[in-house]
Structure 1
Amino acid sequence: AVPFVAQHKVLFAIIAIAILTAVNLRGLREAGTAFAIPTYAFMFGVLVMLVWGLTRIFVLGDDLQAESAGFELTAEQSNLTAIAFAFLLARAFSSGCAALTGVEAISNGVPAFRKPKSRNAATTLLMLGGIAITLLLGIIVLAEKIGVVIAEDPATQLQGAPEGYHQKTLIAQLAETVFDDFPLGFYLITIVTALILVLAANTAFNGFPVLASVLAQDRYLPRQLHTRGDRLAFSNGILFLSGVAIVFVWVFGAEVTHLIQLYIVGVFVSFTLSQTGMIRHWTRHLATETDPNQRRRMVRSRVVNTIGLVMTATVLVIVLITKFVAGAWIAIVTMIAIFGLMKAIRRHYDSVAAELEGTEWDGVLPSRTHSIVLVSKMHHPTMRALAYARATRPDTLEAVTVNVDDADTRQLVRQWESSDITVPLKVVESPYREITRPVLEYVKRVRRDSPRDVVTVFIPEYVVGHWWEQVLHNQSALRLKSRLLFQPGVMVTSVPWQLHSSADVRKERIDAAPGAVRRGLDDQEEQR
């Protein structure tokens, strides 16, 4: 309908992912009306298209021909027999099995159904299957009657196509042919088809963040994925999913034929594992169940899951054989890598927990405290750091500056001596005009001289309001803190000094906080 979209598929796919991410971050999860309207519009629109198209062909006798009806599809191999022909059928079968995916959303969402949950879920699944089969068969029959020809690579596989021919999708060709005298119908079908394809991606946003939260709770993924945002959505999981999705769309150029290989392998691996798990579930319960009625129900359920396991495992094997080179190997390698990564994350969390809780604290207090205030200039941040250091009442308090410029250091020493500050100022030489290493060496020397003392380093810092200001300040403080944190017996204290630019940002953040208006924080800030 809009060729510009086909020419910029990656851009539009990324925009769609960004929109879904924003909607899910806002907490609009499974909004019934928002998702139901496009879905029903698609089903109704396609059904009307099929009924009207078949009526025009069989009742009115119209000769409907698709734009690609006159093209001829060139076969890569026209003499396939025996094993090669069976391989071709198996590959087509594995590709068609992708149409089965999506039905698992019913079983995954059983807890969300009204009671009786299992019966309502089964009824919904039956309706879903009936609607899907009806639409699919109708589309196949109509496409065959109007002569639609679809090629994976139109430039090389279609004979008779004009120069620069842009192949429309199957639905678009059907709608354009059936509604040849009603262009609005063509655009409506195209729009609702695009909408449900975008909304279909929302299934991952509903499923993955919850799954990641469960795995994070069991310490198989980073703990950040377990926490909810201020709108009770798993914000970190949503952002991680959207980021990975955007990367895959960009790497594969938003080509469905390439991405589907990753999708179908993952889906049928999960199908096979879930059926295996259900068989183990029924077998475990049968070992302890004595009620004959319950045992018959469990045996029947186990038979159903066994049949499902055989069918899904068969499809998985065919997919792995026929799609391995086409991209299935990427999914397999990724699964193995993710499994290993998750086991490594669990081992890390277990080792940290054992280290933090396994040994008893000796309870020995430090004999003395030695406080060091880092000084670069005589200004307000330095004075605040000195005042705060005095308030902690250390046994030893001293100020330290690093001599990276002789003129500046001499001026600082003169200002310090002429002031009423009683804290001694020590100058640490820096032959190579760096700050971090001389400070570290001085702190280590203090620790060597008094091993039982605790050394506290006070670092004055600027608090700025804009990201570009952050680039201009606090880089030395950041390097110092990152290095001092690895020194045993050393405490690091940041003493912030808020610049004027940070006050405006702080006001905006207070006003924008959840419930700020209800609590009257904006009025309080204005009064202050």
Structure 2
Amino acid sequence: MTEQNREKKNSQPEMFFDKEDPSLLMRPELRQGSRPGDMRVRIVLPHQHAFRRLHYGVLEATEETEEPHSAWGWLKRIFIGPPLPTARAATERLTKVKALAVLSSDAISSVAYATEAMLASLIAAGSGHLWVMLPISCIIVGLLCVVALSYRQTIPAYPSGGGSYIVARENLGTVPGLVAAASLMIDYVLTVAVSVSAGVLSLATLFPILSSAFDIVSIDVTLIILITIINLRGIRQSGSIFAAPTYLFIGSALLMIVVGVVKSFVIEQRPLIGPFPYVAAVEPLSLFLILKSFSAGCSAMTGVEAISNGIPAFKKPETRNASITLTWMAIILGGLFLGITALTMAYRIEVSPTGNPTVIGQIAQRVFNGPLFFFYPIFQIATLLILALAANTSYSDFPRLASLLARDLFLPHQFAFRGDRLAFSTGIVFLATVASLLLMVFEGDTTSLINLYAVGVFISFTLSQSGMVRHWWVRRHSDRHWLHHMLMNGLGASVTLLVALVISVTKFLAGAWIVVVCIPLFVWLFLSIRQHYLRVQRERTTEIPLRPKTLSHRFIVPVMALDAISQYCVSYARSITPQVTAVHVAFDRKRAAALSECWNTWQSSLSEDERVPLSLVEPACHSFSRCLLAYLEQLQAQYPNDTLTVVLHESDALSFRERLHHHLDILAVKGALYSSPDIVVTDIMPPQQCEPVRPEQFSHRFIVPVTGLDRSTLQCLAYARSICSPVTAVHVGVEEQDIEEIRDSWLQLQRYLSQEEETRLVVIESPYRSLVHPLLAYVDTLRELYPTDTFTVILPKFVVEHWWEYPLHNQTAFRIKKALQTRPGIVVTTIPRFVPRD
């Protein structure tokens, strides 16, 4: 082969392999041909096809990146199902039939306990005044009509979701919007607790053996766990599962009302208002008692706003389908509530002091007898199911509301992320946890929980309708029917405000004070979280990148014994900078002397440039972490301009006791350094067969995950570039808009960088919304292509002043670090970024 052909042959890889493109996941190898001077190119590809290359610098994560690799992952896959791509979001919407089951189960199910709540309040005036229950029920149904008509006007005005938070915030201001949000969130938690506890009491009515508080609370929590798992599977699947119990209850309740009305008023000809079994009065029939009974009966209206909140969950046309579903919900709710109240009066049903049997259970027992006896257990089971599954309304709306608050920085960012099945998983799990704790505290007592109920929902009703009044007033010049709309919403705001005041006053001492106090506390919490996030954003914002040349490294390697892992860590640090010091806290003088002797022997076998001094620290206390921190503080004072990095590793001690002791010491050091704003921590996961290596044998590859080009990210990039070049930055994008923003910002950043500060960016589009799995798959792919290189992943860490601020940060970085710790041979470096107070 001629020299020209050889040059052409050797240059061929450059035609299809671009070393500058980090998205080109292949490695060329030049190999000797069959004849002297002849060379051939072998392309090494990864075994797993975790990515599809879209174009230069852009990859798309495939379904392989979401494959479970642990027992927890497989368990999650079994119970929740495989992840759904974001493109499937449109197919996960609800029809009107399913939406009525998912979004109206809370309101419809409340008829199972609303009449009983009224009866329990009125009985204090004696059995002679129980007839007042009927006009109160008619007033509540009239109020339901007003609220439903008001929300029918909210739906077309806010087609993206006319929840009380959105309407109040846009029209009345931030604080009223947060008051509405806090009220709704409290009401959603109470909805889960009340619905599940009332459902279990229906089961106890059917099976009296389940009457102990322990049994009831155990069943309550078990049902919440079951409902949580179903909702984590996605809104469409939960709608399919919950539709049958909802319609079974509606059908059986309508049958009970029809049969009961015929038997009572046609066959037996009972009077609607007649004498109840005698009960002595303990207080006179006063306006306060009537209002108290009215406020108890208003629990039947909880959940009415759910449909206007969940408009995006409907199939197209969303607003029309939502309006029709809201109308049907109001008709069904009003009819069932009046029918059950009428049968309560016709059969003269008494309230059991223990709540078992329930009022609706007693009605069913009176109606379904004789030839229809088999309908009684069916109805009780249907009541249990609808009450237990009524919590699904909260599971649908609470996570959505929490995601809106997180988007506006009033809650931690995790609440805004969709899970594997396109549901807001964090909100679902949080709701289940709080509701379970509430049931444990109140021992599953529905009566006690109802006293907290309905306060928040009517406050949110009032703010939402008041916001709509201002909405129509602002649009009075562009909408011909603005006055009609404004009057209707004004009537709704006035009526619901009156009801909110009545409920707050009449139930204040019975437990409503808890809600009244919690609402301003929640608003303060929301505002504090947003203030913190805004402060962090101000600290992170920058346009000038940090220069790698300004960084001067100094590495500290704590050693317990001179084993292969310690030698590996020292060589790793020495391959980066000559400023390396090994540190040993001399608790045992004989052991320290032996270590010093072994250390000198090892160092004498190395060249002058490779040697690392060993510093023996005299312990000032019995804590390894405190002694090490004191030594680090001295170094910081001695070298204020150096970037101090502490290298930590797992122990290779022979005995289990020594390994455990070392592990606890390292955990203590990590905990102490977690809040340090100036010290970088490097965790080395030693290779499975760790052997001592020379510093020059390390071939470094640095990977820096980036979410945006803020100060913390630029600090990580500068740290990596100060050690080796080039550095690969990886951005995992979920939203197309975020991907475009990071690419534009990256192009602007390159203008500031010199050639030696070269940094390459690869964007990984994540169709399954996962941030961690695609990054891990990318690291694993590069390790497979370059098995002899040492990979270091650099993560930012925010250091804040208060403990309660830590849950707002570092969650994704912690998950990445935890996952990388299971991969031997990976180095994880954490760069702190201190967030001071204003």
TM-score, length-normalised on structure 1? 0.81
Asked whether the 8 Å contact 1:366–1:454 carries over to 2, the reply is no
- For 1:193, the equivalent position in structure 2 comes to 383
Asked whether the 8 Å contact 2:399–2:427 carries over to 1, the reply is yes
Asked whether the 8 Å contact 2:230–2:237 carries over to 1, the reply is no
Structure 1 residue 202, shift from structure 2 partner: 1.1
SS state at 2:644 partner: strand
- For 1:390, the equivalent position in structure 2 comes to 574
Task: Work out the CA distance in 2 between the residues paired with 1:90 and 1:471.
Answer: 65
SS state at 1:479 partner: helix
Structure 1 residue 487, shift from structure 2 partner: 4.6
| 1:110-143 deviation digits (Å, cap 9, x = unpaired) | 3444555444433333322222232222222322
Task: Work out the CA distance in 1 between the residues paired with 2:289 and 2:404.
Answer: 41
Task: Work out the CA distance in 2 between the residues paired with 1:150 and 1:485.
Answer: 58
- The residue type equivalent to 1:254 in the other structure is G
Structure 1 residue 101, shift from structure 2 partner: 2.1
- For 1:401, the equivalent position in structure 2 comes to 584
- For 1:411, the equivalent position in structure 2 comes to 594
Question: What's the C-alpha RMSD, in Å, of the aligned pairs?
Answer: 3.1
Give the alignment partner of residue 133 of structure 1, picking from 328, 334, 337.
334
Give the alignment partner of residue 226 of structure 2, picking from 7, 19, 31.
19
Structure 1 residue 478, shift from structure 2 partner: 2.7
Correspondence 1:124 to 2:330: no
Call closer, same or farther: CA 1:391–1:71 in 2, change over 3 Å. Answer: farther
User: Is the deviation greater in 317-326 or in 482-491?
Assistant: 482-491
| 1:236-263 deviation digits (Å, cap 9, x = unpaired) | 2112111111111111222222212322
Asked whether the 8 Å contact 2:231–2:238 carries over to 1, the reply is no
Give the alignment partner of residue 242 of structure 1, picking from 422, 432, 448.
432
Structure 1 residue 49, shift from structure 2 partner: 2.1
Identity %: 37
Structure 1 residue 338, shift from structure 2 partner: 0.6
Call closer, same or farther: CA 1:6–1:362 in 2, change over 3 Å. Answer: same
| 1:347-387 deviation digits (Å, cap 9, x = unpaired) | 11111222232696774844632211110122233132123
Task: Work out the CA distance in 2 between the residues paired with 1:308 and 1:471.
Answer: 66
Task: Work out the CA distance in 2 between the residues paired with 1:359 and 1:444.
Answer: 32
Structure 1 residue 179, shift from structure 2 partner: 2.4
- For 1:354, the equivalent position in structure 2 comes to 538
Correspondence 1:42 to 2:231: no
- For 1:311, the equivalent position in structure 2 comes to 495
Structure 1 residue 404, shift from structure 2 partner: 1.4
Asked whether the 8 Å contact 1:384–1:495 carries over to 2, the reply is no
- For 1:32, the equivalent position in structure 2 comes to 239
Call closer, same or farther: CA 1:415–1:3 in 2, change over 3 Å. Answer: farther
Asked whether the 8 Å contact 2:581–2:614 carries over to 1, the reply is yes
Asked whether the 8 Å contact 1:371–1:458 carries over to 2, the reply is yes
Structure 1 residue 491, shift from structure 2 partner: 1.9
Give the alignment partner of residue 174 of structure 1, picking from 347, 363, 366.
363
- For 1:98, the equivalent position in structure 2 comes to 299
Structure 1 residue 4, shift from structure 2 partner: 3.4
Query: Following superposition of structure 1 onto structure 2, how do residues 226-241 of structure 1 map, counting pairs within 5 Å?
Result: 226-241=416-431
TM-score, length-normalised on structure 2? 0.52
Correspondence 1:2 to 2:2: no
Call closer, same or farther: CA 1:73–1:51 in 2, change over 3 Å. Answer: same
- For 1:143, the equivalent position in structure 2 comes to 344
- The residue type equivalent to 1:73 in the other structure is V
- The residue type equivalent to 1:320 in the other structure is S
Task: Work out the CA distance in 2 between the residues paired with 1:56 and 1:367.
Answer: 89
Call closer, same or farther: CA 1:129–1:225 in 2, change over 3 Å. Answer: closer
Call closer, same or farther: CA 1:459–1:332 in 2, change over 3 Å. Answer: same
Task: Work out the CA distance in 2 between the residues paired with 1:127 and 1:29.
Answer: 20
Q: How many residues align?
A: 472
SS state at 1:262 partner: coil
- The residue type equivalent to 1:222 in the other structure is P
Structure 1 residue 471, shift from structure 2 partner: 8.3
Correspondence 1:337 to 2:518: no
Correspondence 1:324 to 2:525: no
Task: Work out the CA distance in 1 between the residues paired with 2:661 and 2:231.
Answer: 35
- For 2:475, the equivalent position in structure 1 comes to 285
SS state at 2:453 partner: helix
Query: Following superposition of structure 1 onto structure 2, how do residues 497-508 of structure 1 map, counting pairs within 5 Å?
Result: 497=686
Query: Following superposition of structure 1 onto structure 2, how do residues 295-310 of structure 1 map, counting pairs within 5 Å?
Result: 295=480, 297-310=481-494
Give the alignment partner of residue 429 of structure 1, picking from 618, 642, 650.
618
- The residue type equivalent to 1:460 in the other structure is H
User: Is the deviation greater in 92-101 or in 482-491?
Assistant: 482-491
Task: Work out the CA distance in 2 between the residues paired with 1:498 and 1:366.
Answer: 32
Task: Work out the CA distance in 2 between the residues paired with 1:462 and 1:326.
Answer: 59
Asked whether the 8 Å contact 2:400–2:424 carries over to 1, the reply is yes
Structure 1 residue 328, shift from structure 2 partner: 1.1
Call closer, same or farther: CA 1:70–1:410 in 2, change over 3 Å. Answer: farther
Q: Mind listing any 5+ residue stretches in structure 1 that lack a counterpart?
A: 64-68, 155-165, 464-468, 501-512, 516-520
- For 1:510, the equivalent position in structure 2 comes to none
User: Is the deviation greater in 377-386 or in 258-267?
Assistant: 377-386
User: Is the deviation greater in 319-328 or in 133-142?
Assistant: 133-142
Call closer, same or farther: CA 1:472–1:315 in 2, change over 3 Å. Answer: farther
Asked whether the 8 Å contact 1:72–1:149 carries over to 2, the reply is no
Structure 1 residue 272, shift from structure 2 partner: 0.5
Asked whether the 8 Å contact 2:621–2:627 carries over to 1, the reply is no
SS state at 1:220 partner: coil
Asked whether the 8 Å contact 2:291–2:502 carries over to 1, the reply is yes
SS state at 1:494 partner: strand
Correspondence 1:444 to 2:633: yes
SS state at 2:623 partner: coil
- For 1:75, the equivalent position in structure 2 comes to 281
Correspondence 1:368 to 2:575: no
Q: Mind listing any 5+ residue stretches in structure 2 that lack a counterpart?
A: 1-205, 653-657, 690-771, 775-779, 785-838
Task: Work out the CA distance in 2 between the residues paired with 1:391 and 1:15.
Answer: 56
- The residue type equivalent to 2:664 in the other structure is Q
Structure 1 residue 323, shift from structure 2 partner: 0.8
**1 or 2 for the larger relative contact order (CA 8 Å, sep ≥6)?**
2
Correspondence 1:490 to 2:679: yes
| Structure with more helix by fraction | 1
Call closer, same or farther: CA 1:123–1:225 in 2, change over 3 Å. Answer: closer
